[in-house]
A = this chain, B = another copy of it.
């Protein structure tokens, strides 16, 4: 099986490592427009070769679009034009799915596309961030599978099985709403926390001294790259705005309770928040 991976960053590169090491891919062909990244990917050994997109599509059985979601929405129709009517399959790994499915909607090659979102990552990016085992035992969401060829879906299930992921199925609109609520908002709260602390604490030494483990883990996601996150937030705008508004309301409830020295209300809010224990280890 030849696997083509467009974008050998954290996600694409980590897929390349495990798909090759675990025998799913006999050959990994990378497409990487950034010269520095391409050189790094070859040096690290993420791909067997780097080719231009057209040659990669010609050589690959499965093509993985592992680029930011704005680039992926532009690439997908081009790739579908090339593979419509063949047995080749294209997947993407973006964390916004409705715009991906919309751009493929009605395309004569739509059945060759499987929309997937492997829920794994770190706050780092680029080929240097790629690592083995990144996907192990995490969830992968497949969206709108009824529009894909059943055989293609089974093949991609086999791919994620090699990555050791639990596959679940969802409509793309429901997916985008749920990831806004759980994943996208976590990133925004971290960015806002970093901005607040950097704004309030002009003296970095204090941040360093006072940053207990709590702060580090809460602010960790604020290291995430703009290249990935600007298009996610823009393309999942409506869901993201809705959850930010709820978040600001909750923050104001806290503010008002503290302002009023209302210990009962502060306790009620903390006790309610503690319920997350039941769900998250």
Stretch from A20-28, A82-90, A223-231 that touches the partner: A223-231
In the complex, what residues of B have CB within 8 A of residue A266's CB? 226, 229-230, 233-234
Copies of the protein in its oligomer: 2
Mask for A182-205, Cβ within 8 A of B = 1, else 0?
110111111111111111110010
Tell me, yes or no, whether A237 is within 8 Å of chain B by CB: yes
Shortest Cβ distance from A190 into B: residue: B218
Q: How far is the CA of A233 from the CA of B253 in the complex (A)?
A: 13
Q: Tell me the chain A residues, 230-263 only, with Cβ under 8 Å from chain B.
A: 230-231, 233-234, 237, 240-241, 243-248, 250-255, 258-259, 261, 263
Complex Cα gap A272–B206 (Å): 18
Known A193-B189, A215-B280, A266-B230: A247·B251 in contact at CB below 8 Å: yes
Instruction: Choose one: B216, B244, B281; the contact of A258 (CB below 8 Å).
Output: B244
Chain B residues lying within 8 Å of A225, measured Cβ to Cβ, are 270, 274
Q: Mark A95-130, 1 if CB is under 8 A from B, else 0.
A: 000000000000000000000000111110000000
Chain B CB within 10 Å, residue with most, of A183, A221, A276: A276
The range of chain A's interface size is 35 or more
Contact residue among B213, B226, B273 (Cβ-Cβ distance under 8 Å from A222): B273
Cα distance A124–B2 when bound, in Å?
Answer: 48
| A170 CB to nearest B CB, Å | 9
Residue of B nearest to A118 (CB): B212
Question: Of the candidates B186, B193, B221, which one forms a contact with A247 in the assembled complex, judged by CB atoms under 8 Å apart?
Answer: B193
Q: CB distance A217 to B214 under 8 Å?
A: no
Cβ of A220 under 8 Å from chain B: yes
Of B190, B209, B254, the contact of A244 (CB 8 Å cutoff): B254
Task: Please list the 3 inter-chain residue pairs (A to B) with the smallest Cβ-Cβ separation, ordered nearest first.
Answer: A194-B273, A226-B270, A194-B276
**Contacts from A to B (Cβ < 8 Å):** 119-123, 138-139, 141, 166, 168, 178-179, 181-183, 185-201, 204, 206-226, 229-231, 233-234, 237, 240-241, 243-248, 250-255, 258-259, 261, 263, 266-267, 269-281
